[in-house]
Structure 1
Amino acid sequence: MSRCSVLSPHLYSVYINTLPSLLRQVAAPATHLVPSSGSADAGMVPVNSLLFADDVAVIGSAKSVKEMLKLCEDHSLSLGYRWNPLKCAVLNHPTSSTSSSGSTQLKLYGTPLPLVDKFVYLGMPFVKTGLSAASVLPLRSPGVLQLMGILNKIGVNRQGFSLLLCARIYATFVRPKFEYGLAISKFTAAQTKEIERLQDRCLRMMVGGHATSSTLVIKHMTTLPSMHHRIDVLTTRFCLRARTLPASCLLSLLSSTLLVSRIKIHLDKNPLFLALPSPPPSSDARLKSFFRQYRERQVTSIVTSTTQVLLRACRPALVVDPILYVPATRAERSLLVRWRLGWLPGKPEDCPCGRDRRSRRHFLECDLIPSFLWSDLPRCPPGSYPIDFALSSLPLGRSARCPPWWSSLLLMLWHIQRLCRPNSFYAIDSSPGASWYSRSSRNSD
């Protein structure tokens, strides 16, 4: 419908508020009925139209929809507004030869309405069977990647803002664009993986990773959840909200009168919802606390049981990695992040020392790395890598004091970087880690 006045969508919905009662007069016999209020004895009304501001959907048989379109015409002419046939579409129209005749052809102001197999209503794709979960991601992906591309050009990249700020910008502005509708959609395992891949693609744009690079460490360092977990959270919130709606709400009326309910069959079965205590948390703060505790258990289990070396080397806790916020120069933080991501040592090529190929194992015995640097690091338990253990031993909190081995750790990473890129020049800082040391000194005075 095209609005013919300067009224806002909300005022426009008031303007056409008398339309639903007219449409109910020609409802098809098979139209679903709900109580006219929260009370079952208050009479039943057919649900043959849905109106959200100036977005209107009419539901029924070909005959009843044709009658409803005529009522819509008359209503618009009597009140001085006009529908736009070019913005309308007919979904699930009968396709038999008799039904496609002129007697059942749907028109508005004499203009035939286009027949479609899929239509987007209120931002959600519909097909003849209802909501189309398979069409959600193709609908969202172009806009998500376009926005991520714009943000990437203005600083959401590894040469621009810090990784932590980039992650927060992504979670605030990009992720919500493809989270819309996830709470009410039932995805297959393959479709959930595709949604996960979209997030991974955004994160790779953020750090400049190649097309198949893992994003597990990025998500762990920045506490970004997987999209599988986000879907569970959104679905759980929706289910809890649906259960507390007033009895007179349309969703409540439909859930109580339909023999088959999407909420009962699909949404209530997600593992996070099933793990809720009884009774469920009574406030949003307590619900968030439950979500965090649930995810903390997941993170601890994944990090301690995974076979992926880089993820297992991270701190087994749901906290932002301190290397993302401790005082450090841009070059120092780049060294720390690249080590965590496995970009150092990178490909196993010949080491300049000539003894072996570059690898985490080789660096422990490489003659070009001063041995005293290894001795300066905190003693690590058997099976742990000294640099990984040192990074996981960094104190939490932005006001934490600098550990005594901080400069040795940075100097060692500088040597490793020099070995990995022998043809590049990297100036050595005369006082590695000085920014954190100086702040710790000021705070102790």
Structure 2
Amino acid sequence: MRAEDHSRSLGYRWNPAKCVVLNCPSDHGGRRMKLYGSPIPKEPSFSYLGVPFSPQGKISTDLLLRRNTASALAAMRYTLMPIGIRSPKFSRLTASRLYATFIRSKFEYGLCLCTFTTKQVALLEKAQDQCLRMAFGGHRTASTTVFKHLVNLPSMKERSTTLVFKFILRVHFLPEDTLLSILRSFINDLPPTTRTRFRWPTLLTSNSIWSNPALTENHASTADKINYLSSPASVRRTVVAYRTQVLTSIYRKPKPPVLLSACRPYLGIDPILTLPMSTYDRSRLVRWRMGWLPGRPKACRCGHTHASRAHLLNCLRVATRLDVATNTRPNPLDYVLNQLPRKIPPTPSSLLFSRWSSWWPTICQIMLEIEQICKPEGEYTTEAADVSGKILLDKLRPVSTESSSLLISPVD
């Protein structure tokens, strides 16, 4: 037996009592399997390190996904929900990071060993969407596409593809005397018709990153890929290139999602979640991006029966007030929001401050007016009605020359 020979050659020993044989040959008239002369227990199914195996000795992907999703949803309800992550004043970005750190790992357990059907991927996506709706307070059918884009959170299909890709890399970098490396060499030496019985070739051919040379700077051979992907930076670039390819394919559809198309067409955390601003301004901008503002059909104060996004942009003269063309893509308001700096520069320029000292208070005023139209019964405190945008503008205000000289002047 190969397992016994391998253990003897490396000086370790398996415990036969802790091993299990699935689909044992003795059940079909064959001999009983032994290890070091001791019979190995036989079972119809078995879970090893939390990964369930079927009677055929294959990973039971359906059962693994059901266990993972049940564990993740329970952790979301009883771990993160009690700390108030769906509170309006709780940072949506922080909520997404808490989810990615503590909950998503429960979805991901064992996924790097699996191949998935379309139905199985849909089950993973649905479960992740449930967790995200708990995080941002959406109703049970609310779309999560824009939220994932705003916080730069990959879909479960992207994530599972990335996990399998990284597993493939780890296997190639294992020492040659490890059991998995020996099995890989054994499988590679088999005839193509026999090789298909094993999962390893399927992982290689079905993985959208490993099997696409365009993502690894056109390195097609295994040796060239391994050489290129030997550094963490090149692995990160490859994963980002894959996710960018997925995002680009969505944008290039004949009818791309309207709300997603209004956001920045590249990966990264949207500045409306990171730049300094009041809780009220941030909430309005996030709800606008996600299509919650306007939400349910409401009559406009101008008398129009439906205050839709398109109507509000026209009724409130957004293009004129922001001094941009009416036909600006994707629309005047989102166009300006997409110009926000990713972060506050160390030394803000006068040009940057001049632009946003005009745009930002206008945007805050427009968002307040939209909210007042959609929620005419709402009462607004002085802080909620403040549209000066002072918090952001104070950070963008350039340091004057006189102030700079005072900061660097020597102390007598």
Could you tell me the TM-score, scaled by structure 2's length? 0.79
CA-CA distance at 1:239 after TM superposition: 1.1
**What is the aligned partner in structure 1 of residue 333 from structure 2?**
387
- Partner Cα separation in structure 2 for residue 235 and residue 162 of structure 1: 31
The structure having more radius of gyration, on CA atoms, is 1
State the superposition RMSD in angstroms: 3.1
Seen in structure 2, the aligned counterparts of structure 1 residues 139 and 50 have a Cα distance that, compared at 3 Å, is farther
**What is the aligned partner in structure 1 of residue 238 from structure 2?**
290
Contact 2:344 2:396 in 1 (8 A): no
- Residues 160-208 of structure 1: CA distance to partner in whole angstroms, max 9, x if unpaired? 5311111111111111111111010121111011111111111111111
Seen in structure 2, the aligned counterparts of structure 1 residues 299 and 210 have a Cα distance that, compared at 3 Å, is same
Contact 1:323 1:337 in 2 (8 A): yes
CA-CA distance at 1:145 after TM superposition: 0.9
CA-CA distance at 1:441 after TM superposition: 2.4
Match of 1:440 among 375, 396, 399: 396
Q: Secondary structure, in 3 states, of the residue corresponding to 2:19? A: strand
- Residues 332-358 of structure 1: CA distance to partner in whole angstroms, max 9, x if unpaired? 100000000000111223223322311
Which residues of 2 match residues 271-282 of structure 1 at below 5 A? 271-276=208-213, 277=216, 278=219, 279-280=224-225, 281-282=229-230
CA-CA distance at 1:124 after TM superposition: 0.3
**What is the aligned partner in structure 2 of residue 164 from structure 1?**
93
CA-CA distance at 1:304 after TM superposition: 4.7
CA-CA distance at 1:265 after TM superposition: 2.6
Q: Does 2:301 match 1:364?
A: no
Match of 2:372 among 418, 429, 433: 418
**What is the aligned partner in structure 1 of residue 20 from structure 2?**
58
- Partner Cα separation in structure 2 for residue 297 and residue 443 of structure 1: 41
Match of 2:52 among 125, 135, 144: 125
Contact 1:134 1:187 in 2 (8 A): no
- Partner Cα separation in structure 2 for residue 119 and residue 384 of structure 1: 54
CA-CA distance at 1:442 after TM superposition: 6.3
Q: Secondary structure, in 3 states, of the residue corresponding to 1:120? A: strand
Contact 2:88 2:283 in 1 (8 A): no
Match of 2:285 among 323, 336, 351: 336
Q: Secondary structure, in 3 states, of the residue corresponding to 1:231? A: helix
- Residues 30-73 of structure 1: CA distance to partner in whole angstroms, max 9, x if unpaired? x5678648xxxx9999xx9678xxx93233544635x6699489
- Residues 273-306 of structure 1: CA distance to partner in whole angstroms, max 9, x if unpaired? 1124321222122111221123223323323545
- Partner Cα separation in structure 1 for residue 163 and residue 314 of structure 2: 49
Seen in structure 2, the aligned counterparts of structure 1 residues 184 and 443 have a Cα distance that, compared at 3 Å, is farther
- Partner Cα separation in structure 1 for residue 271 and residue 70 of structure 2: 34
**What is the aligned partner in structure 2 of residue 257 from structure 1?**
186
**What is the aligned partner in structure 2 of residue 152 from structure 1?**
81
Contact 2:244 2:266 in 1 (8 A): yes
Q: Number of residue pairs matched? A: 362
Single out whichever of 255-264 and 142-151 deviates more from structure 2: 255-264
Which residues of structure 2 form unaligned runs of 5+? 404-412
Match of 1:326 among 260, 266, 275: 275
**What is the aligned partner in structure 2 of residue 195 from structure 1?**
124
**What is the aligned partner in structure 2 of residue 219 from structure 1?**
148
The amino acid across from 1:64 in the alignment is: R
Contact 2:69 2:124 in 1 (8 A): no
Single out whichever of 244-253 and 292-301 deviates more from structure 2: 292-301
Contact 2:299 2:305 in 1 (8 A): yes
- Partner Cα separation in structure 1 for residue 379 and residue 343 of structure 2: 34
Contact 2:92 2:136 in 1 (8 A): yes
Q: Secondary structure, in 3 states, of the residue corresponding to 1:131? A: coil
Q: Percent sequence identity over matched residues?
A: 35
Seen in structure 2, the aligned counterparts of structure 1 residues 375 and 90 have a Cα distance that, compared at 3 Å, is same
- Partner Cα separation in structure 2 for residue 304 and residue 363 of structure 1: 27
- Partner Cα separation in structure 2 for residue 392 and residue 378 of structure 1: 15
- Partner Cα separation in structure 1 for residue 14 and residue 25 of structure 2: 12
- Partner Cα separation in structure 2 for residue 50 and residue 133 of structure 1: 27
Seen in structure 2, the aligned counterparts of structure 1 residues 288 and 34 have a Cα distance that, compared at 3 Å, is farther
- Partner Cα separation in structure 2 for residue 161 and residue 240 of structure 1: 38
- Residues 200-221 of structure 1: CA distance to partner in whole angstroms, max 9, x if unpaired? 1111111111111111101111
- Partner Cα separation in structure 2 for residue 287 and residue 204 of structure 1: 31
- Residues 343-400 of structure 1: CA distance to partner in whole angstroms, max 9, x if unpaired? 011122322332231101221343xx4x4x6423151454531111111121222336
Could you tell me the TM-score, scaled by structure 1's length? 0.74
CA-CA distance at 1:135 after TM superposition: 0.9
